[in-house]
Structure 1
C-alpha cells in the first residue's frame, strides 16, 4: 500500500426503518452450524451498547471541532450508529427469546463502558473508538469480500451484516479524524488502542459464544470440540479474519489514515439495489452476489 494514496471516501448516509425480518431466522442460522452462528451472535451482542459508547466518545470532542464538514460527518456518524444499535437490539431480542442470557451480557458490558467513560481520559476513549471503527470496517471488507465466506448464512442475517458493513465503510474515518483534529491523542495511545480493542473484542466474543452454546445444551466436551474445529475458520492460516492482517497492521504506521484503504468493490451495488427496491434484504443479496 502506498501510504500517501487516498481513495475517495463515501459520505455517511442515515438510513432508517429497515426491516430485516430477524424474527423469521432459524436458531442456528449459519448453515445449521451452532458454533459459527453463536460466534456471529456474540459479535452482534456487542454492537448496540458498543455503538452507544462510540457516540459518547465522539461527543466528548464535539465542541472542539472547528471544521464544519467534520461536524456534519460527526452528526451523521451518530445517527448511523444509533440505527445500528436499534437493529442489533432486535437481533439480541431474538437471542433472548431463545433462552440466551442477553441481559447479563449487556449489564456487564454497560458497566465496562461506564467505567471507561468515567475513569479514562477522553483521549483514551476516542482512540479506542477510532481503533474499533478500523477493526469493524476491516471485518466488513473481510466478511463480504468473497461470496464463499457467508454463503451458508441465512439471507436475512447476511443482509443485516451487509447494511452494517456498508455504513462502517462510510463512517470508518470519522472517529479517526476527530481523534486527529481535536483529540490531541499521543501516538502511543493511538497505537495501543487497537491491540487493547482487539483483545477485548476477541475475549468477550469467545466467552459469550461458549456461554450461549452451554445454554443451547452442549456439554463442556462438545464445546471444546466445537472451538477446536471452529476457531481455524476465523483465525487459521487461511482463516477469514487472518486475511485482513496486512490492512490491520497498517494502523500502526505513523502516517496511516483509513481512507488509504479502498471501499469494498461492490459498495455501489448495495446502494443502487436499496434505491431501486427499498428492501435491505434484496440489497444485501445483491451485495453478497456481487462479491468475488
Structure 2
C-alpha cells in the first residue's frame, strides 16, 4: 500500500437531524430478531463509547499546536457528541420494549471510566483510534453493496448512513493525535485493536443474547438464532469478514486511515442532504447508490 495515497474529507458537524426513530418497528431488520438485536447491541455501545472517545482525545488537546488538527479535534468532539445523542434516542426505544438498557449502560460506563482511571493516556487514545478504525469501516461494510441494508427499515438505514458518513470524515483525527501528539508505540497500537475488536464481539454477543432472552426466546432458540445469524456477520462470506483486508491494514507499519478510499457515494449523501435537509432522503440515496 502506498503511503502517498490520501483520501480525506473534513469533518462537518450536523445537528438536529430527525430520523423518526420512535416510528420504527420492534424487529426493524427484515423482521429478524438476531440481526435486529445484534445491531441494537451495537447502538447501546455508542453513547458511552463516544463519551470515552471524547475524553481520550481531550487528554491531549492542550498539547496540539497544529491549527488544522485543533479544528479537526473540535469537530470530532462535536460529531461524536451528536452520535451519542442519536443513539440515546435509539436506546430509548429499547427501554420501551423492556430491554435492560440501564444495566448495559452502567456496565459500559464503569468499564470505560475504569480504563480512563487505571490506564495511561497513551493507551486510552490508542484504544480510541483503534475503535475509530472499526467504525470507519462501517460505510463500506454496510453500504458498499445495496443488498446488505436492503431489508433494514429506512429510518434506521438513514441513521446508520449518517453515522457512517461522519465516521469516515473524522477517521484520521484520533489516529493523528495518537501518532503525532501522544506518540504511541506500535506495540500498544496493535494491542489496542486486538482488545477493541475482541471486547466489541464478546460484549455485543452478550447483549444480543440478553435482549433475545427478554424477547422470550429460550436458550435453545437463542442458540439457533446465533448459529443462523452470526455467519451473516462473521462467516466466510460474512459482511464483516469481507473487510478483513482493510481491517488488517492497521497492523502495517506505515498505515494511515486516509489510505482507504472514501466510499463512492459519499457526495450523493452530501448533495441530497443539502438539497432536501432530510437525512432520511439522504440515507435512501446513499443506500440506493451501492453496488
| Number of residues of Structure 1 aligned to a counterpart in Structure 2 | 291
Task: Tell me if structure 2 keeps the 8 A contact 1:3–1:256.
Answer: no
Equivalent in the alignment of 2:18 = 19
Task: Tell me if structure 1 keeps the 8 A contact 2:11–2:75.
Answer: yes
Supply the distance in 1 between the matched residues of 2:29 and 2:182 (Cα, whole angstroms): 40
What SS does the aligned partner of 2:165 have?
helix
Deviations 1:61-85 (A, max 9, x none): 0011110100000000000000000
Supply the distance in 1 between the matched residues of 2:165 and 2:64 (Cα, whole angstroms): 25
Equivalent in the alignment of 2:212 = 213
Supply the distance in 2 between the matched residues of 1:245 and 1:95 (Cα, whole angstroms): 31
Shift of 1:184: 1.9
Deviations 1:199-223 (A, max 9, x none): 0101111000000000000000000
Supply the distance in 2 between the matched residues of 1:251 and 1:140 (Cα, whole angstroms): 17
Equivalent in the alignment of 2:38 = 39
Pairing of 1:107-256 with structure 2 (within 5 A): 107-256=106-255
Instruction: Calculate the TM-score normalised by the size of structure 1.
Output: 0.99
Shift of 1:130: 0.3
Task: Tell me if structure 1 keeps the 8 A contact 2:99–2:211.
Answer: yes
Supply the distance in 2 between the matched residues of 1:186 and 1:289 (Cα, whole angstroms): 41
Supply the distance in 1 between the matched residues of 2:176 and 2:219 (Cα, whole angstroms): 45
Task: Tell me if structure 2 keeps the 8 A contact 1:65–1:181.
Answer: no
Shift of 1:187: 1.0
Supply the distance in 1 between the matched residues of 2:205 and 2:72 (Cα, whole angstroms): 33
Shift of 1:181: 1.1
Task: Tell me if structure 2 keeps the 8 A contact 1:57–1:129.
Answer: yes
Supply the distance in 1 between the matched residues of 2:132 and 2:26 (Cα, whole angstroms): 29
Structure 2 residue runs of 5 or longer lacking an equivalent are none
Supply the distance in 1 between the matched residues of 2:2 and 2:58 (Cα, whole angstroms): 29
Supply the distance in 2 between the matched residues of 1:184 and 1:40 (Cα, whole angstroms): 34
Deviations 1:231-261 (A, max 9, x none): 1100111000000000000000010000000
Task: Tell me if structure 1 keeps the 8 A contact 2:46–2:87.
Answer: yes
Deviations 1:96-151 (A, max 9, x none): 00000000000000000110001100000000000000011112220110000010
Deviations 1:166-205 (A, max 9, x none): 0000000000000111102111000111000000101111
Task: Tell me if structure 1 keeps the 8 A contact 2:7–2:260.
Answer: no
Task: Tell me if structure 1 keeps the 8 A contact 2:37–2:212.
Answer: yes
Task: Tell me if structure 2 keeps the 8 A contact 1:159–1:283.
Answer: yes
Supply the distance in 2 between the matched residues of 1:210 and 1:224 (Cα, whole angstroms): 9
Supply the distance in 2 between the matched residues of 1:6 and 1:123 (Cα, whole angstroms): 27
Aligned CA RMSD, in angstroms, stands at 0.6
What SS does the aligned partner of 1:149 have?
helix
Supply the distance in 2 between the matched residues of 1:280 and 1:172 (Cα, whole angstroms): 21
1:81 and 2:80 are equivalent in the alignment: yes
Task: Tell me if structure 1 keeps the 8 A contact 2:3–2:256.
Answer: no
Task: Tell me if structure 1 keeps the 8 A contact 2:57–2:125.
Answer: yes
Task: Tell me if structure 1 keeps the 8 A contact 2:133–2:257.
Answer: yes
Equivalent in the alignment of 1:268 = 267
Structure 1 residue runs of 5 or longer lacking an equivalent are none
